[in-house]
């Protein structure tokens, strides 16, 4: 008899109060037997005030995921993290690790994306997202603070609810290809934000441009498989999964 969580569970802290696309995308890419346990911070909109309130709830969310015995915990929400500075995610990681203790590895999606881009040898980055300009600018500052050159940064002036309701399956692909026409010398694409459909475009973009693609969810799963010790080979969602993930316990920066 098969057992639920036969390969473990990834604890995922998501900011938005309502979640849809991220759940569909997360379960689409994971191997059977590995599940996602999701805790929401109740974020209603992409404002600084809402960011502050959501960040106040992160330790509680991490603690509740620990009680549910997830194997790893990842804090998502690039807009929240970069609003506090380009390397704030390191402080946030330390806070959450302290909240759950040393036995459950904790990371943020910001840190895992940086590590994924470095692992792929990328230095010139095309940043593709549905974020408003202030969030795009903060995200670019984060990438640049880690020695990466952002050669293209594309966003949208969308509210949080519109990330799900106004974008279609080809939105990320179309923005990435427009960026590539402008900057064909890019080393990699970072399709940011898991609240719009992106994972279905990863392989298509890589095939048509010859450049690797990183997303939050693929970076999270890439790290989590290694952290949990699972040998599963993920295909169809980017060349990142052909690369060795960082070992658990190393401080990502």
Give residue-wise pLDDT tens across range 83-138: 999 999 999 999 999 999 999 999 999 999 999 999 999 999 999 999 999 999 99
Residues 84 and 137 in one domain: no
Q: Is residue 160 part of a domain?
A: yes
Split into its structural domains, the chain has a count of: 2
Q: Is residue 104 part of a domain?
A: yes
CATH code of the domain covering residue 229: 3.40.50.12500
Q: Is residue 158 part of a domain?
A: yes
Q: Please state, in angstroms and as integers, the Cα–Cα distance from residue 163 to each residue in 44, 84, 131, following that order.
A: 13, 22, 8
The token duo for 200 is 């279905």
Residues 97 and 160 in one domain: no
- Is the distance from CB of 206 to CB of 213 less than 8 angstroms? yes
Q: Is residue 174 part of a domain?
A: yes
Q: What is the pLDDT of residue 159?
A: 85
Q: Is residue 1 part of a domain?
A: no
Those residues of the chain that have pLDDT short of 70 are 1-2, 247-253
CATH code of the domain covering residue 156: 3.40.50.1860
Residues 122 and 97 in one domain: no
Angle CA 225–231–233, to nearest 5: 85
127 Ramachandran zone, left/alpha/beta (phi>0; psi -120 to 50): beta
Q: Is residue 92 part of a domain?
A: yes
Residues 130 and 50 in one domain: no
Q: What is the pLDDT of residue 252?
A: 54
Residues 163 and 198 in one domain: yes
Residues 166 and 197 in one domain: yes
Q: What is the DSSP string of 135-170?
A: HHHHHHHHHHTTT-EEEEEE-----HHHHHHS--TT
Residue among 131, 84, 117 nearest 219 (CA)? 117
Q: What is the pLDDT of residue 95?
A: 94
Residues 81 and 41 in one domain: yes
Q: What is the pLDDT of residue 166?
A: 84
Q: Is residue 239 part of a domain?
A: no
Residues 138 and 195 in one domain: yes
Q: Is residue 244 part of a domain?
A: no
Q: What is the extent of the structural domain holding 140?
A: 112-216
pTM, 2 dp: 0.95
Residues 12 and 63 in one domain: yes
Residues 123 and 93 in one domain: no
């Amino acid at each position: 008899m098969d057992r639920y969580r036969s390969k473990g569970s990834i604890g995922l802290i998501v900011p938005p109060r309502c979640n849809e696309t991220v759940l569909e995308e997360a379960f689409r890419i994971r191997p059977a037997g590995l599940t996602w346990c999701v805790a929401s911070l109740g974020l209603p909109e992409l404002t600084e005030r809402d960011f502050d309130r959501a960040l106040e709830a992160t330790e509680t969310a991490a603690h509740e995921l620990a009680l549910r015995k997830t194997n790893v915990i990842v804090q998502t929400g690039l807009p929240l993290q970069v609003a506090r500075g380009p390397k704030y995610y390191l402080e946030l990681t330390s806070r959450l690790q302290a909240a759950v203790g040393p036995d459950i590895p904790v990371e943020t999606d910001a840190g895992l994306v940086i590590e994924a881009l470095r692992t792929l040898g990328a230095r010139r980055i095309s940043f593709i997202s549905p974020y408003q300009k202030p969030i795009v600018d903060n995200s670019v500052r984060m990438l640049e603070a880690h020695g990466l050159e952002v050669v293209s940064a594309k966003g949208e002036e969308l509210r949080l609810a519109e990330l799900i309701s106004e974008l279609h399956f080809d939105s990320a692909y179309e923005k990435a290809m427009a960026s590539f026409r402008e900057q064909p010398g890019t080393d990699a694409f970072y399709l940011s934000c898991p609240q719009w459909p992106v994972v279905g475009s990863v392989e298509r973009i890589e095939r048509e441009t010859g450049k690797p693609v990183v997303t939050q969810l693929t970076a999270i799963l890439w790290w989590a498989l290694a952290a949990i010790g699972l040998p599963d080979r993920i295909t169809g969602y980017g060349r990142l999964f052909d690369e060795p993930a960082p070992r658990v316990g190393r401080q990502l920066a």
